[in-house]
Amino acid sequence: MRVSVKAPAKINLTLDVLSKRPDGYHDVEMVMTTVDLADRVDLTLLRSREILIDCSASFVPLDQRNHAFKAAKLLMERYSVDKGVHIYIDKHIPVAAGLAGGSSDAAATLRGLNKLWNLGLTLDELATIGAEIGSDVPFCVYGGTALAKGCGEKLTHLSSPTSCWVILAKPPIGVSTADVYGNLRVDQIKKHPNTERMLDAILSKNFSLMANNLCNVLEEVTLTRYPQVMQIKELMIQSGADGVLMSGSGPTVFGLVQKEAKVHRIYNALRGFVKDVYAVRILGGGETEILD
């Protein structure tokens, strides 16, 4: 028996850091939405109580460090499951890119195993377990569009933003989320997002309001440390994207584009500069389907 699950990437429309907590974690406030760039996670039932993992990309860890493996192990132990699973990740989301690829694989594994192992858990229960793996995992369990607070686990679900194109470009560097947060001085952040205005833009499906209010406080750290990210941002703006922002801790930069006629020009301009460029649509509406 096999279950295949789609694991979409996310982008941050806003990312604010409110404070650094005594435990070292940061209180954040961010608006996230899913885009149509996805890994596929195939889960095959094993009779023996073991977790095996393979991935189409060579540089992803294939052991207990893999977020999908962690998800399977947590479910297996917590619910005393006496069966096992072979996990195969067909990787399309760039790794360490600010697009929550690993978190989305973990979330897809939780949803898929809930079915494969007949656990009967709700999405809320899966999201609570997901929070033990990483702060983006609860959002990825539901997908769609949400405001995330706390460490990212306190979610308010939102309606889908107005549909548009998203051009993603990733320079050939990986960025460590922990490093970026470690180098952020919360008291010295120059510009915070106007989260309320972004929520208005989403609710009213106002594309210009959304494109004009993109803001991510982590840009100050990543753009200073990695000038290539700044170059991609500038190129994306020059070639006509309506709104441009770095996603998560980077280094992926995305551009929102309303008119399809502009998409090829922007895509080609970026492709002349970096290899990892994608033109996709905002999904935004909670497409967390199990494929078969």
Summarize as ranges the residues that interact with ligand ATP (CB under 6 A). Answer: 60-61, 65-68, 89, 95-103, 105, 136, 177, 248-249
Task: Pick the closer one to ligand ATP by CB: 134 or 243.
Answer: 134
Query: In which element (H, E) is residue 280 found?
Result: strand 276-281
Residue 136 designated active-site: yes
**Least gap, CB of 11 to ligand ATP (angstroms):** 10
Q: Among residues 10, 70, 170, 233, which one is catalytic?
A: 10
CA-to-CA dists, residue 118 to 75, 88, 154, 258, angstroms: 11, 20, 27, 42
Task: Pick the closer one to ligand ATP by CB: 105 or 153.
Answer: 105
Task: Pick the closer one to ligand ATP by CB: 35 or 68.
Answer: 68
Q: Among residues 16, 39, 105, 136, which one is catalytic?
A: 136
Are the beta carbons of 290 and 4 closer than 8 angstroms?
yes
CA-to-CA dists, residue 17 to 180, 212, 282, angstroms: 12, 20, 24
> Closest Cα partner for 225 from 249, 254, 247?
249
Whole-angstrom distance, CA of residue 65 vs CA of residue 71:
11
Closest residue to ligand ATP in the complex (CB):
102
DSSP state of 163: P
Whole-angstrom distance, CA of residue 141 vs CA of residue 108:
7
**Least gap, CB of 237 to ligand ATP (angstroms):** 23
Whole-angstrom distance, CA of residue 110 vs CA of residue 130:
8
Task: Pick the closer one to ligand ATP by CB: 54 or 260.
Answer: 54
Which residues does the annotation mark as catalytic? 10, 136
